[in-house]
Amino acid sequence: MMNSSGVAIEARGLTVVRGDRTVLRGLDFTVEPGRITGLLGPSGCGKTTLMRAVVGTQAKVTGTLDVLGTPAGHPTLRPRIGYVTQAPSVYTDLSVRQNLDYFAAILQPGRSHRDARRATVARAIADVDLTSHADALAGTLSGGQLTRVSLAAALLGTPELLILDEPTVGLDPVLRRDLWNLFHSLAADHGTTLLVSSHVMDEAERCHRLLLMREGEILADGTPEALRTDARTATVEEAFLHLVDEAATRQENAR
């Protein structure tokens, strides 16, 4: 379900204070349903904070933030959102399959669902290309493999909205490509809405839409093509740098 204007996420004046810093400064943005929206910007600009606000785990949030037609953080949203944090949430003393069996049992408890759970777990393991490691202890996996176990856990409940915080960090180019293919098939085949953060600008071109962030503000949003065209640049990275220079000039002139 979305809100009446057909958007998956809608923020108006979204402000977040962490410690004594205002980390997000009155953001206005929307995220379209069934599309991949990239959240791009340098380290520390507020990407994780924005995602935490959308998931409902962030304190001191003001302004309006609606997620799937409901105020962010509402308990009914919990089964509808998958969230993969930067730190893999995986038990290292269990195998890949045991980790996923455990999370699947929380989502779908009871003996009567055992066969369905088994099939769901096998599908999620295959989706992230870990079938050959299904019985390996998570503690023996590489960083990129652990990230994929976390992603598989988020896919178990077939969420409508998938929030992925830098999911491709540390992955080799082949795996990155495969994961982006998976993201696209989730959007195209299941209508899943994906919000994916990255500070790697070449990933921007793989998104349907982008939110470019800097220092707690949104510098620009739109399709990669529109951002390139507006800034008259060949790449999104150049467009971003152009926007940063423009913002700096505006700040200078305002002094």
Ligand X SMILES: Nc1ncnc2c1ncn2[C@@H]1O[C@H](COP(=O)(O)OP(=O)(O)OP(=O)(O)O)[C@@H](O)[C@H]1O
Interacting residues with ligand X (CB under 6 A): 18-19, 21, 23, 41, 43-49, 199
- Shortest distance, position 48 Cβ to ligand X, whole Å: 3
Closest to ligand X by CB, 74 vs 199, is 199
Query: With b meaning 16 or more CB within 10 Å and e meaning fewer, what string describes 49-88?
Result: bbbbbbbbebeebeeebbbbbeebbeeebeebbbbbbeeb
Residue that has been written with the tokens 């769901």 in this structure: 120
- Shortest distance, position 21 Cβ to ligand X, whole Å: 5
Closest to ligand X by CB, 81 vs 212, is 212
- Shortest distance, position 196 Cβ to ligand X, whole Å: 12
How many residues are present in the chain? 255
End-to-end CA distance of the chain: 45
Residue that has been written with the tokens 């993201």 in this structure: 183
How far apart CA 1 and CA 6 sit, in angstroms, is 9
Closest to ligand X by CB, 29 vs 103, is 29
- Shortest distance, position 255 Cβ to ligand X, whole Å: 23
Closest to ligand X by CB, 24 vs 151, is 24
- Do the beta carbons of residue 54 and residue 67 sit within 8 Å? yes
